[in-house]
Amino acid sequence: MELKIEKVVAGGLGLARTEGGVVLVRGALPGETVLAEVRAGKGVNQGVTREVLTPSPDRVDAPDLPTTDLAHASYAAQLRYKREFVQEAMSRIAKLSAEQVAAVAETVPSPREWNYRNTAQYLVTPDGLAYRERRSNSATAAQTDPLVMESVASVVRLLDVSKLEGVQEISLRASRLTGEVVATLIAPGEPKSYLKAADELMDCGVVGVSLAAPAARRFSAGVQLVAGESEILEGYGEVQVSVSASSFAQINPEAAGLAYIHAARLAGQGPMAVDLYGGSGAIGRHLAPNFGRVVVLDTDFDALARGRHDIREAGTRNMTFRDGDAAQLYHSSLQAGVIVVDPPRIGLSEMARDALHDSAALKVVYVSCDPATWARDVGDLVKRGWTLGEVTPHDFYPQTSHVEVVSVLTRAELPEKLEPSEMESGYGER
């Protein structure tokens, strides 16, 4: 079908309109006329570009990889599109004013357009490492990946997969700070069964190998050390944090560091701040120099343990790590004037939004990896009386359609049901 592309929408898809309705086309850019293979989808039809009849001036040559969905656009165009994704969500989902939508800042670019990823996970096949195709069980050979750091690419080039007998998948994480790489094997059995695989990986430059049992949710069945180191140090902005191949940490440390510094600037200063969904405290540690006390809340035991270890090593004395979620904000010892939230892609639950609104906070700094759920949450808080201030997209994932948002919400007064006694003392503790 010949289609005229109006714009690019979330997911990196070109939007076209036909008599039969909207078609979302992979691999197309605004202003282009393309020949696309189209199939019926849920709600809208889906298409894949087979030929570009009228190319956009923003089109560039791109690698054909399942890990990229915007690499066919120039980087300047990618940054524009990502700002537009945030604006679209603000308008369509949050129902914010045209003035607020227009005030969104330009997207902060990643310091690197390529070779920025410190993490990659591959299927182990008889023919070598492979990517799992999007929305499919099929695999594509991972010969080269221009997104990953060179230290990860080096391991992939040198690795002899015949020595990974029994391994289903492998996760690699490198450090931009140190150049080291650690690996986690995803496979059944005991660590001693994978000593040969560990030797092969360490011969390829890996400094540590762990084992995770296969599970529906990645690494949820626990991780055991096979050989070497389980963690390495990575730099994020102004701090160094411990990361492993199985832990959650942003995959573009240089870009994430810029966002964390930005979030700390928006947070300002004061007697106390809470870092909600704080993990091992990468954002919280950026808050610590400007607050009397910082409390990091998360439900990930391993992340909290790494955070406690890291602040001991750094000599930071005004931070506390707690096992807890948004429900803990009702506790009198957590009545902070500033709360920073960096939730998972699903955003804030209704309970979490209630807890934020009923807390003692006059400022919420919201860091998000999904403009749609961020817009839903921000729209709800604005309806409750909060004012949305600065909104800035950050690009952690060049060549893809993913975009992060750093924003701030404020209010002039606390909800009536919060008693003044709950704000006693500099740290808000009774």
The pTM (predicted TM-score) of the whole model is 0.92
User: Considering only CA atoms, which of 287, 279, 241 is closest in space to residue 262?
Assistant: 287
Q: Which CATH number fits the domain 1-59, given the four candidates 3.30.70.360, 3.50.50.60, 3.30.470.20, 2.40.50.140? A: 2.40.50.140
Catalytic residue among 71, 181, 258, 369: 369
Q: Identify the three-state secondary structure at position 204.
A: coil
Q: Strand pairing of 128-132 and 139-141? A: antiparallel
Is residue 204 among the annotated active site residues? no
Q: 427 falls in which pLDDT band (50, 70, 90)?
A: very low
Q: Which CATH number fits the domain 252-423, given the four candidates 3.30.360.10, 3.30.420.10, 3.40.50.150, 3.40.50.11060? A: 3.40.50.150
pLDDT score recorded for residue 426: 33
Q: What value, to the nearest 5°, has the Cα angle with vertex 218 and ends 170 and 144?
A: 35
Instruction: Decide if pLDDT at 239 tops 50.
Output: yes
**135-167 per-position pLDDT tens digit:** 555 667 766 789 999 999 999 999 999 999 999
In sequence order, the β-bridge partners of residue 366 are 341, 407
Q: Identify the three-state secondary structure at position 185.
A: strand
CATH topology of domain 119-235: OB fold (Dihydrolipoamide Acetyltransferase, E2P) (2.40.50)
Is it true that 1-59 and 252-423 share their CATH fold?
Answer: no
pLDDT score recorded for residue 136: 55
Structure tokens belonging to residue 51: 């030929």
Reading phi first (left if > 0) and then psi (alpha if -120 to 50, else beta), residue 173 is in beta
What residue type is assigned to position 181 of the chain? V
Name the strand (E) or helix (H) holding 87: helix 75-92
Q: 418 falls in which pLDDT band (50, 70, 90)?
A: low
Each domain of the chain, given as residue ranges in start order, spans: 1-59, 119-235, 252-423
**87-117 per-position pLDDT tens digit:** 999 999 999 999 999 999 999 999 999 999 9
Give the span between the Cα atoms of 383 and 222, in whole angstroms.
Answer: 42
Name the strand (E) or helix (H) holding 376: helix 371-383
pLDDT score recorded for residue 40: 86
Structure tokens belonging to residue 164: 């990974």
Q: 32 falls in which pLDDT band (50, 70, 90)?
A: very high
Give the span between the Cα atoms of 49 and 36, in whole angstroms.
Answer: 4
Q: Identify the three-state secondary structure at position 161.
A: helix
Instruction: Decide if pLDDT at 373 tops 50.
Output: yes
